[in-house]
Amino acid sequence: MQLIDIGVNLTNTSFIGKEREILNRAYEAGVGQLVLTGTSVENSEQAMQLSHELDESATRLFCTAGVHPHSASDWTADTEKQLRALLGERRVLAVGECGLDFNRDFSPRLQQEKALEAHLALAVELQMPVFLHERDANERLLEILRDYRDRLPAAVVHCFTGEKRALFSYLDLDLHIGITGWICDERRGTHLHPLVREIPRGRLMLESDAPYLLPRTLRPKPKNGRNEPAYLPEVLREVALHRDETLADVAAHTTACAQAFFGLPEIQSTPNQTD
């Protein structure tokens, strides 16, 4: 089985100096390709640089480029120029992480909306898929997306944690859904158990969102409490359980979905990479 982690924050400070060993553990666990999440211009540049430095084959590591809604207040005209340049790089496969977060409101909502629209306009112009973040903003996100959806090639709601109404509203708009270790959390993720079976094949992808969202069902748990892409098989196990599908089946169709969504190449090993 081969898995694809569509969302890993490899630039997080907790991973500094450990990136290659983390990737090797992921490869050994069957996670063959990873998409590194860009959450600011600087962070997106770092993600792109890591994908170059740590993947000599140019077939395993890729990234997104965008500005997280938490940082939407930092958006300027220069931000857009810098992102456009990044999005022209071969390793950068999607626009984002971008979206709306009305849960924490670290940036004013109006600025979040303006930044999201700027991201969507870039995605339309460059014909690239979008990597979306949404917290407590389902209806407003949909209102904005509807004006762009017909011109966008694809979009994924990453780390979906919402209720049935939100899920079906995204599926009705032909969006993809990313599932994380949230589904493994008995305190707040059990509502996803019946919902995950409602996501059609071809729209479901898996992600770690590492170093966040360590699967609570994982045994044994790492002493540092930090999530890694190597633990993605635990998300696979929980998703397969609640979809009543085999591990191999879920691995196959979520991997095919991610390959098509991002336009990923076939993996080519190098002497410095462990399969």
| pLDDT of 143 over the 50 cut | yes
Is residue 29 a contact partner of residue 274, using CB atoms and an 8 Å limit? no
Q: Using 50, 70 and 90 to split pLDDT, how confident is the model at 1?
A: confident
For residue 98, give the nearest of 77, 78, 113, 82 by alpha carbon.
113
Q: What average pLDDT does this structure show over 176-185? A: 98
Which residues, including other chains, have CB under 8 Å from residue 247's CB and lie 6 or more apart?
A: 1, 233, 236, 237, 240
Q: How many other C-beta atoms can be found within 10 angstroms of the C-beta atom of residue 225?
A: 8
Cα gap 151→153, rounded to integer Å: 7
| pLDDT of 275 over the 50 cut | no
| pLDDT of 219 over the 70 cut | yes
| pLDDT of 238 over the 90 cut | yes
Which residues, including other chains, have CB under 8 Å from residue 177's CB and lie 6 or more apart?
A: 156, 157, 160, 167, 170, 171, 199, 203, 204, 205
| Preceding amide of 211 cis, omega within 30 | yes
3-state secondary structure of 74: helix
SS3 annotation, 81-107? HHHHHHCCCCCEEEEEEEEEECCCCCC
Query: Phi-psi category of 121—alpha, beta or left, where left has phi over 0 and alpha has psi -120 to 50?
Result: alpha
Q: What average pLDDT does this structure show over 193-211? A: 98
pLDDT tens track for 63-121: 999 999 999 999 998 999 999 999 999 999 999 999 999 999 999 999 999 999 999 99
Is residue 63 a contact partner of residue 91, using CB atoms and an 8 Å limit? yes
Task: Please state the pTM of the whole predicted model.
Answer: 0.96
pLDDT tens track for 35-71: 999 999 999 999 999 999 999 999 999 999 999 999 9
What share of the chain in percent tops pLDDT 70? 97
Which strand (E) or helix (H) includes residue 167? Answer: helix 164-172
Cα gap 262→206, rounded to integer Å: 13
Residue with the bigger pLDDT between 269 and 26: it is 26
Question: What pLDDT was estimated at residue 204?
Answer: 98
Domains in the chain and their CATH numbers? 3-262 (3.20.20.140)
Give the residues across from 204 on adjacent strands. 177
Q: Please report where in the chains the tokens 């300027």 appear, as a residue.
A: 76
Q: What average pLDDT does this structure show over 266-272? A: 67
